[in-house]
Structure 1
Amino acid sequence: MFKLVYLLDCLHAEAHEGETVSGSDWYFHSFGPFAVNLAGGIDELASRGLVQSLSDEYRGKDFSLYWLGEYPQGPSLSEVGVVGTGAARFGSMVRKFAKDLSKLLDHAYFKTLPMQGATPGKRIDFGVLKDAGQVQAHKHTSISDHAKILKLAQLAERVAQTYTRGKGNARAMAAHRPIYDLAFVEASAAMDAEDADRDPIAFTAQLA
């Protein structure tokens, strides 16, 4: 859950000048992002039953797992300022990483801009995401070289002529294509029937 909140903060920072939605004090801890005040907040939610939790020990180290219940409570993404493509991307992340913790950690640790510039033990700067969510306007390129303009015009003319010749050939072939109408079909059938009704030619030759 920590890493999903971190990813949500990244998406919020893209659209809100580097500001996170959780307000957590993220810093580079061990291999990835961590926030002490977020841990306290999640523990409080777990104690109220708003978040499910499980604490255990693995290889001599204590750990806790947190997850949302069947009917989670809380504000929607749009209510916290994550809308449009940001909300769609977060939904895609949740579905993609829901059952694959290793991929979630890999994405959060190595494929987000704040972590790429982070220093172990130091605060994580979300300001690098200020311009990440902005769509750059497309710049049209104009050609000022008259020689290039002339070459483009000549090329366009050759393409147009080739297309016109192709259409002419198609019309010529269509004009000379045989037409099989109903009269032709009936006449062919009558001739076939006449051939079938004729008696076979008698073989009267004598062999020496």
Structure 2
Amino acid sequence: MPVDAAKADLILQYALLLAGQEDDFFDRQLGPIHLLKYCYLADLIHARYEDGRTFTGANWTFYKFGPWAQDVHARIAPAVRMVQADEKVMASDYGDRQDWFRWWKSDDRLLEAKENALPSCIRRELRPLVHRFGKDTPALLDFVYRTAPMLDAAPG
């Protein structure tokens, strides 16, 4: 099933806007890995309530850093541009790696609009996860790796 770009964008934007509510400015900045994992968690939440159907239709596979969906990853840059998120680019310390990106956006009205467009199960369960993990990559990855699909998966 191909990814529904509008639904992927909605989740990516919602996660970014949720992070934008954090008190500490540093905690508001999310990178691609955070946005991708929050989209995975939203799909996992939706699948639990909707007979295994994900919200975005993404084909999640286990990759180096856990769940990966190339179609969702490709939506990150367009999704953050659509909400006019602020962007910070940092040069990588590793010559063979791309630059690091962080985005942030704080807009209460836009957050409310995105939230109202989501199924209640995602609204109810993703919000506390974004608040709990924010941009804490190790904690977020540890949580994601312990989800049932990842425990049964093998890298590939």
TM-score, with normalisation over the residues of structure 1? 0.49
State whether structure 2 residue 137 is matched by structure 1 residue 101: yes
State whether structure 2 residue 59 is matched by structure 1 residue 59: no
Equivalent pairs counted in the alignment come to 117
Within 5 Å, which residues of 2 pair with 1:20-39? Answer: 20-39=54-73
TM-score, with normalisation over the residues of structure 2? 0.63
Identify if the C-alpha distance between structure 1 residues 89 and 51 changes in structure 2 by more than 3 Å, giving closer, same or farther: same
Deviation at 1:66, TM superposition (A): 4.5
- Provide, for residues 17-73 of structure 1, a one-character-per-residue CA deviation record: whole Å limited to 9, x for no partner: 111112222211113111111121111123334444444313232254344411145
Identify if the C-alpha distance between structure 1 residues 120 and 99 changes in structure 2 by more than 3 Å, giving closer, same or farther: closer
Identify if the C-alpha distance between structure 1 residues 48 and 87 changes in structure 2 by more than 3 Å, giving closer, same or farther: closer
Distance across 2 between alignment mates of 1:30 and 1:120? 7
Distance across 2 between alignment mates of 1:97 and 1:17? 27
Distance across 2 between alignment mates of 1:51 and 1:19? 30
Identify if the C-alpha distance between structure 1 residues 31 and 13 changes in structure 2 by more than 3 Å, giving closer, same or farther: same
Match of 1:91 in 2: 127
Instruction: Please tell me whether Structure 1 or Structure 2 has the larger radius of gyration of its CA atoms.
Output: 1
Distance across 2 between alignment mates of 1:25 and 1:54? 29
Match of 1:120 in 2: 155
Q: Which has the higher contact order (CA 8 A, sep 6+)?
A: 2
Match of 1:40 in 2: 74
Distance across 2 between alignment mates of 1:38 and 1:81? 19
Identical counterparts, % of pairs: 27
Unaligned ranges ≥5, structure 1: 122-208
Deviation at 1:8, TM superposition (A): 1.0
Deviation at 1:80, TM superposition (A): 2.6
Indicate the RMSD between aligned Cα atoms, in angstroms: 2.3
Unaligned ranges ≥5, structure 2: 1-34
